[in-house]
Amino acid sequence: MKNIPLWLGGTLLAFLVFVAFVGPHLPFIDADLSKERSRWVMKNGEEKLVLPAFKPSSKNLLGTDKEGVDNLSRLVVGAKETILFVLAIAAVRYIIAIPLGIMARRKTGFCHRLITFWNQLFSYMPPVFASALLLALPFLLFAQHRLAWAILILASVEVGRVAVTVQEQAYKMSREPYMEASTALGLRTRTLTKNYYVPIMFPEMIVNFCLDMGKVLLLLGQLAIVNIFLGHEWKEVDYYTMEFVETGLNWATILARHRTDIFLGKFEYVFYPACAMMIAIVTFNLLAEGLRRRFQVRG
């Protein structure tokens, strides 16, 4: 049977990548996100001055926000950063977790205890609480490389879980007859890793990686709902009034900016970024499902 999820996921991913990298250069996208403070509109035969937010029209397909910035452009311009964030966080997570998990494959020793502890540490705390607790530490708020720290924190919050999955897999593998044979043959660790561990573990790893990208994006959305940003600067916004101003142009910041609209019963501005995030999460999950079928990994 044809692998529908893989095709769908692949197509959606191609679309996302296209939007992220080519999107800002499309003619109907305003890459500078310029603010349109007012607009003359023909109404009943006479010109009238209209103030933003403008309703969806042929000029602004999704309308504009209260400052007159085109909603669609904001989403398209934010796509690249969002996807790169997600990729970076998931990659850092796996770069830390895979070696730890493989080193702990015998289920004894320091690494085993470390990842068991790490896994338990944040297991009863949903990732969003743990990340909020850590991201709000003062020396991280003002850190010079705040973004790098934020990525590291979001990655490490779930390193334990990923490492335990890797460990479980490596443990199961190490008990297979072919692994015993290779050990008996006296293969070096490097050869073992290259010819045994990597090819056998890769399929499941890549499936889990895709699922984790979805989880990371979910976490970013949840953090945005409670108004915690990854990258920001402490700027003077008024006389002697300093404020953390988000520097990034990603979907999470759009969500954060409009989150109070929820209480006012105004949903449109929150819906757009939430929708974009949902499409991305569904893409990653479809890809995972498709790859799982492709590699015949049992879910």
Partner 1 sequence: MNLKTQMLKSTIISLLAFSFIVLIVLIPRDINISLDGHKVVADPSFDMNRYLTYIGDFFRQIIEHGSLGPSRYKGQTAEAAALVAVGMSLLVIVSALLIGFVVGILKGVADYKLSKTKFNVLGHWTTWLFQSIPDFFLMLFVQWFLVKHVPAVRYFAVEGWEAFALPALLVSIYPIFFIARVTSASLLAQEGKMYILLAKAKGLSDRAVVYKHMLRNGIAAILTHLPGLLVFILSNLLVVEYYRNYPGAAWRLFQALDFNPYTGTGPEYEPGVIIGIAFFFMLLFLVVQWISHSARKYFDPR
- Residues at the interface with partner 1 (CB under 8 A): 116-117, 120-129, 132-134, 136-139, 141-142, 214, 217-218, 221-222, 225-228, 234, 236, 240-245, 255, 262-263, 265, 267, 270-271, 274-275, 277-278, 281-282, 285-286, 289, 298-299
Cis peptide upstream of residue 53 (ω within 30 degrees of 0):
yes
Choice between 159 and 277, CB closer to partner 1: 277
- For partner 1, which is the closer residue by CB, 17 or 134? 134
Nearer to partner 1, 122 or 197 (CB): 122
**Cβ of residue 268: shortest distance to partner 1, in angstroms?**
10
Specify the residue, 179 or 276, whose C-beta has the smaller distance to partner 1: 276
Task: Please give the biggest Cα pair distance in the chain.
Answer: 89
Minimum gap (Å) between residue 15 Cβ and partner 1: 16
CB-count burial class (<10 Å; 0-12, 13-18, 19+) for 220: buried
Cβ 114 to partner 1, closest distance in Å? 12
β-pair type (39-43, 232-238): unpaired
Closer Cβ to partner 1, 92 or 286, answer by number: 286
Q: How far is the CB of 70 from partner 1 (least distance, A)?
A: 22
CA–CA separation, 128 and 231 (whole Å):
17
Q: How far is CA 179 from the centre of its chain?
A: 36
Asked if 55 and 43 touch (Cβ cutoff 8 Å), the reply is: no
Closer residue to partner 1 (CB): 27 or 265: 265
| Least separation in angstroms between CB 59 and partner 1 | 26
Q: How many CB atoms lie within 10 A of CB 133?
A: 13
What DSSP designation does 246 have? Answer: E
Residue among 66, 81, 71 at smallest CA distance from 33: 71
Shortest reach from residue 167's CB to partner 1, in Å: 15
Q: In the bound complex, what is the minimum distance in angstroms from residue 299's beta carbon to partner 1?
A: 6
CB atoms within 10 A of CB 31: 12
User: Rounded to whole angstroms, how far apart are CA atoms 96 and 101?
Assistant: 9
* β-strand pairing of 46-50 with 232-238: unpaired
Between residues 101 and 160, which has the closer beta carbon with respect to partner 1? 160
